[in-house]
Each structure stands twice: as structure tokens, then as C-alpha cells.
Amino acid sequence: MPSRCVSKQTLQRLPTYLSFLRTRSGEASKYVSATAIADALGMNQVVVRKDLASISTSGRPKVGYVREDLIQELERFLGYDNADDAILVGAGKLGRALLSFDGFPQYGLNILAAFDTDPAAANTRVGDKMVLPLEKLPDLCRRTKVRIGIITVPGEHAQQVCDLLIQSGILAIWNFANVHLEVPPGILVQNENMAVSLAILSNHLKERFSTK
């Protein structure tokens, strides 16, 4: 019986496995093993095996998993088979790039609309997404019962936007602003900090070349 409660580390790895499985096709790829996934992704075989066992019982010894079945199990566990609606605040360059990305639906995310305080941006479209004046946000949240908010505003405005989202019923925030957000208990914040990612890359290169 697979566990429905997995560690944060496992949860962060599962989308990587799903992306890999989606790239494989053809009769030769009907089955896939944890070992093959680990080798292809350069990961530890034991870790991959335990991760998959936590969400699936369909694996067979010496055979592995039926690829399509494992894809469906991963999609169900991650919630990708039931899209969550979201709104985005900040229709600048980053916000517009996210609005233009057509891959979100396959990861279970549907951006309903964007909001911005700039009169030049309001009441325009980015692809099929409408950019609305910020003052319309509470009403849309109330009508649609959307629960995910994406913040792509400059750091100095992020907390104010965060507060507005929470007041409007948002329960989970995907934060692209490079600032810490203060939120009450029960509100989930997922930070995407480019400075942290760059620091990890820089440190890796420094360690690599310092050993030569």
C-alpha cells in the first residue's frame, strides 16, 4: 500500500521522474524500471526506488513499471489530473513570460487571469489571458474560489500584494519576488529565489575548479 504522505524531498523529485517518463515513447519503452530512471537522471537507484514505492504498488520485480500506468499514478498523486486555478499579480516581463507559458496545464495549473496596477497593462491580453486592474482581484477570487496566487511584482510591493491575496481567500502563494513574505498560519508560500539558485551554481563551479 503506497503512502499518501511523502517527504518534501520526495515530492520535489516526483515531477522530474514524470517529465522523464513523458519523453519516452514506443514499444521498447512499454516498461521502465527504477534503475533505468535513476541511471538516465544520474540519481541514486535506492532513492528512486523508494520514491516510486511511496506512490505506487504496480512495480514488478525484474520487469519494473508499465510506463503509462506509472505516468498516470504520478499525475494523480501530484494532482496534475485535476487542474487547480490560479491568479497572477504583476504583468511585467516575468509575469508575461509565465502567462505565455503553455505548459502549465500538463502540470495541473490553470492561470485564470493576471492583475496589475499599471493602467497601460490593465485590460490587455497576454495570449488568451486577461490582465485586469488590481482592484478587481478580490471580486474575481470570491466568484471563482481560486486558491493559488502567483506573485511576480518587485520586492518592495510583494508583501502588500501577499496581504491582498490572503484577504481575498488565497491559501497558497507561489512567490517570485526576492523577499521573505510574512503570512499567517495555514498559508503556504513556495519561494522561487533566483539568487539562491545562482549561488548554488556558482558554488558548484568554484568547488569544481578549486580541485583542479
Annotated binding site for NAD(+): 90-95
C-beta of residue 44 within 8 angstroms of C-beta of residue 76: no
Rounded Cα distance between 134 and 31, Å, is: 49
Task: Give CA–CA dist 92/155, Å, rounded.
Answer: 13
Q: Which helix (H) or strand (E) holds 173?
A: strand 172-175
Q: How far apart are CA 134 and CA 114, in angstroms?
A: 9
Alpha carbon separation from 41 to 95, 110, 158 (Å, rounded)? 30, 28, 36
Q: What is the DSSP string of 18-82?
A: HHHHHH--SGGGSEE-HHHHHHHHT--HHHHHHHHHTT----BTTTBEEHHHHHHHHHHHHTTTS
- Residue 35 to residue 98: CA distance in whole angstroms: 34
Feature table: binding site: 90-95
- Residues contacting 142, CB < 8 A, separation 6+: 168, 169
Instruction: Name the residue among 185, 148, 188 with its Cα closest to residue 170.
Output: 148
